[in-house]
Amino acid sequence: MTMADNSIVFIDSGVGGLPYLKMTRECMSKENLVYVADNKNFPYGEKSTQEIKEIIINLIQEIITKIDPKLIVIACNTASVVALSTLRNKFGIPFVGVVPAIKPAVEYSDNGRIGLLATRKTVEDPYTDKLITNFASGCSVKKYAGIDLVEFVEKKYFLSTDQEKLKVITEASMDFVDSNIDSLVLGCTHFIYLIEYFKQVLGSSVDIIDSREGVVKQVKKLVEYNGLSIKNKNKDTFYITGSNYEKSNYREFANKFSLNWGGSL
C-alpha cells in the first residue's frame, strides 16, 4: 500500500466531527476515512489551554504510530483554536482545522447581528476574538457557551425525543432571539446534529452556518496538492479512546455514519 492509500483521520473529543467525515466521503468517496472519538478526554471545552494541547499532542502521536495517516482533520473547534498551530509545527503531516465560520456569517448577514454558539473555551479564546476583529469588526456578535448541548448530543442524542431536543435548543437560543440576529454560527461540531431544531426554533429569517463546506474543500485541496489521491479503498472505521463509555451508544453513531466498529484505539 502506498502513502496515498493511507487514511484521512478525523478526531474530536466525541462524535461531533462525524458530520465532517460524512461530507468528506460525499465529495471524496474513494478515500479511506478513519474517525477517532477521544472519549477518554471528553469534553475538551471545559479544560485549560495547556491541558488541551497536551491531550491533542499525545493523541496525534498515538494516531501516527497506530494508523499512519496521510492527513488529519481536527474536527473540533475548541482543539483547533487552541492547538492547530502547535500541531503543524510539531508534526510532519498536513492538518486541517475547524474554526468558527465568522467570515461566512458576515457575508450572509443583512442586519450585521451575528450569533456564535460554541463551547466555553472557544467563546473565550483569543483566537475567536481575532476572527471577529478580522472579519466582523462592523458587526454585533453575540457569543454564548452552549455547554450542556455538547453533553446532550454525546450522551442523549439517540435517547431523546424531538420535543426534548427542541426544549434544549429553545433554552440555548433565547439570548440570540432577544438579540435579533440573522446569522448563527455553530462553533462546536456537536451542534450540527441539532441544526434542523435550530431552524425550527429560530425560523427561516436566521441562517444557520457551520464550517463543513470550507473544511472539506481544504481537505480535497491538500490531498490533491500533495499527490495523495487514493488507489485502494478500504472500509471506513470508527475508533474510540478509553474504556469508560456506553458501547451501544457509540456503535449506534458508527452505524449511523456507515463506519466499521474498530473499538478502542
Which residues are known catalytic residues?
A: 76, 188
- DSSP H helices in the chain: 18-27, 49-66, 77-90, 102-108, 120-124, 126-135, 147-156, 162-178, 195-202, 212-225, 247-256
Nearest to 84 by CA among 109, 111, 49: 49
Q: How far apart are CA 145 and CA 183, in angstroms?
A: 16
Coil vs helix vs strand at 177: helix
Residues contacting 236, CB < 8 A, separation 6+:
21, 25, 32, 33, 34, 35, 258, 259, 260
Query: Smallest Cα–Cα separation from 182: which of 219, 207, 154?
Result: 207
DSSP 7: P
* Residue with grid cell 472519538, as numbered in its chain: 37
Dihedral angle, C-alpha 255, 258, 261, 265, nearest 10 °:
-120
SS3 sequence of 57-84: HHHHHHHHHHCCCCEEEECCHHHHHHHH
